[in-house]
Amino acid sequence: MEVKIHGRSVTITDRFENYVAAKIEKISTLLPKALLFEARVSRTSDKSPVYGDHVELTVTGVGPVIRAEATATDKFSAFDIAYGRLLERIRRHKDKRRADHKRGKPSLGTVAAHGFDTLDVTPADVELLTGATASDAADAAVNPEAESDYTPVVIRHKSFPAEVMSADAAVDRMELVGHDFFLFIDEANNQPSVVYRRKGWNYGVISLTEEA
């Protein structure tokens, strides 16, 4: 497994590289087909709620990408926290695969025929994902220049290849990367969709459809 360590606004010392190399031997045991372990270390701004070093870990290979991140007072502590979360997600992924293999996963046709009821997911309004409301749209129509006003909010843009999968698989991928939502192309209707986390272990699905 190849190991890459990147630093931004923070020095990556030989001691830290050796520390990471000694720690990740367990990943090779749990995921023998893993091809790349990547660690990104950055220094958070002194204006951030949590000031210190931020570590983001990513494992790629045969199968889904698994990711975890954490922030602590130094890069060693942040790495330990993120690494613990990464191992937990890897073990959870392996346990789920064993359980699915033993009981047999339901076919896509069966799941889609019941409106994904067996996945404990429910459709939701797009407002839940975007945070926009009808009053927001009305305000924008009345005052179109409001959007050009300065805002401290920073919007990051990322592009990923579109993947076709079931809602069940999308939930699994979301859990592995530690996000609260996951964008995918739904196998059932070939439409852009998003699964998102609700309270507890409940999830929701938002799908986009073309109006006639």
Residue 163 pLDDT exceeds 60: yes
- Within the chain, which residue ranges are assigned CATH 3.30.160.100? 2-102
Which helix (H) or strand (E) element contains residue 27?
helix 25-30
Quick check: 20 and 39 in contact, CB under 8 A?
A: yes
Amino acid at 37: F
Question: 2-102 is classed in which CATH architecture?
Answer: 2-Layer Sandwich (3.30)
Instruction: Pull the structure tokens for residue 110.
Output: 């069966």
> In the chain, what is the greatest distance between 2 CA atoms, to the nearest angstrom?
61
Domain over 164-207 is classified CATH 3.30.505.50: yes
Work out the end-to-end distance of the chain between its first and last CA atoms, rounded to an integer number of angstroms. 50
Helix axes of 75-103 and 14-23: crossing angle, nearest 10 degrees: 20
Instruction: Pull the structure tokens for residue 10.
Output: 């923070």
Higher pLDDT, 166 or 211: 166
Instruction: Give the single-character DSSP code of 65.
Output: -
CA distance 201 to 135: 31
Higher pLDDT, 7 or 159: 7
Higher pLDDT, 143 or 52: 52
Higher pLDDT, 117 or 196: 196
- Look up the pTM and report it: 0.53
Q: How far is CA 96 from the centre of its chain?
A: 18
- Across the chain, mean pLDDT equals 75
Higher pLDDT, 120 or 9: 9
pLDDT digits (tens, 9 = 90+) for 165-174: 888 888 777 7
Nearest CA among 199, 193, 200, 211 for reference residue 116 = 193
Q: Which of 57-66, 69-78, 172-181 has the lowest mean pLDDT?
A: 172-181
- Within the chain, which residue ranges are assigned CATH 3.30.505.50? 164-207
Identify the residue whose tokens are 């409301």.
133
Quick check: 111 and 119 in contact, CB under 8 A?
A: yes
Average pLDDT in the 116-139 region? 52
pLDDT digits (tens, 9 = 90+) for 131-150: 555 555 455 455 555 445 55
